[in-house]
Amino acid sequence: DFKKNLININRFFAVCLIVIITIPLSAASVTVAESLLSQGKYETAITKLEPLADQDDPKALFLLSHIYLTPEFKFLNIPKGLALLRKAVFHNYGPAIDTLAGLYLSGDGVEKSEARALNYYIQGSFLGYGPSQFNCGIMYKEGQGTNKDPAKAYLHLCLASLNKKDLDDVTIDAARY
């Protein structure tokens, strides 16, 4: 019994060690891919991101979706891009949630729905993602996708005005509203 428990504890620590080692490697690979994207090396970035996306890395899923949804990158594949974006949203990745909300708001690649856009902005807002906080507040202020609701607008815009990490100077605009 003792020996069996010791083996299970060792397995547990082995798994923890693997997770501890692979998370920084994943983050480093995504950073390399981001650098490649900024250099216009899209094919190389795709080869770096695909294995990470296969492991459900939310940022890799989002970056790949961006490549497939952006015509300028010349890899346009809307169904594949939306599928990757939705997987990143499933993992509660703020930029992906905000992007999907924006697609519903504009009707780009999906059926236009201000109500769905607002729901995604709310999700992003409560996850602490600044752009979603700002957009959510504006939608409530303007009554877009919902009835005008000054109290909810105030709440989300206050959150946005405090979110320097994601919004930087836009926090000033959020505070003005």
Segment holding 92, helix H or strand E: none
47 has pLDDT over 60:
yes
Apex 169 CA angle, 167 and 175, nearest 5: 85
16 has pLDDT over 60:
no
89 has pLDDT over 50:
yes
Predicted model pTM? 0.80
Q: What is the 3-state secondary structure (H, E, C) of 95-125?
A: HHHHHHHHHHHHCCCCCCCHHHHHHHHHHHH
Averaged pLDDT for residues 10-21 = 40
Q: Report the alpha-carbon distance of residue 118 to residue 153 in Å, rounded.
A: 12
For the stretch 62-72, pLDDT in tens is: 999 999 998 88
Q: 């105030």: which residue's tokens? A: 154
Please tell me what DSSP assigns to residue 35. Answer: H
How big, in percent rounded to 5, are the helix, strand and coil portions of the chain? 80, 0, 20
Asked whether the CA dihedral 31, 85, 37, 131 is positive or negative, the reply is: negative
Q: Report the alpha-carbon distance of residue 54 to residue 87 in Å, rounded.
A: 11
Averaged pLDDT for residues 71-100 = 95
Averaged pLDDT for residues 8-23 = 41
For the stretch 109-160, pLDDT in tens is: 999 999 999 999 999 999 999 999 999 999 999 999 999 999 999 999 888 8
Q: Report the alpha-carbon distance of residue 132 to residue 95 in Å, rounded.
A: 8
**One-letter identity of residue 80:** K
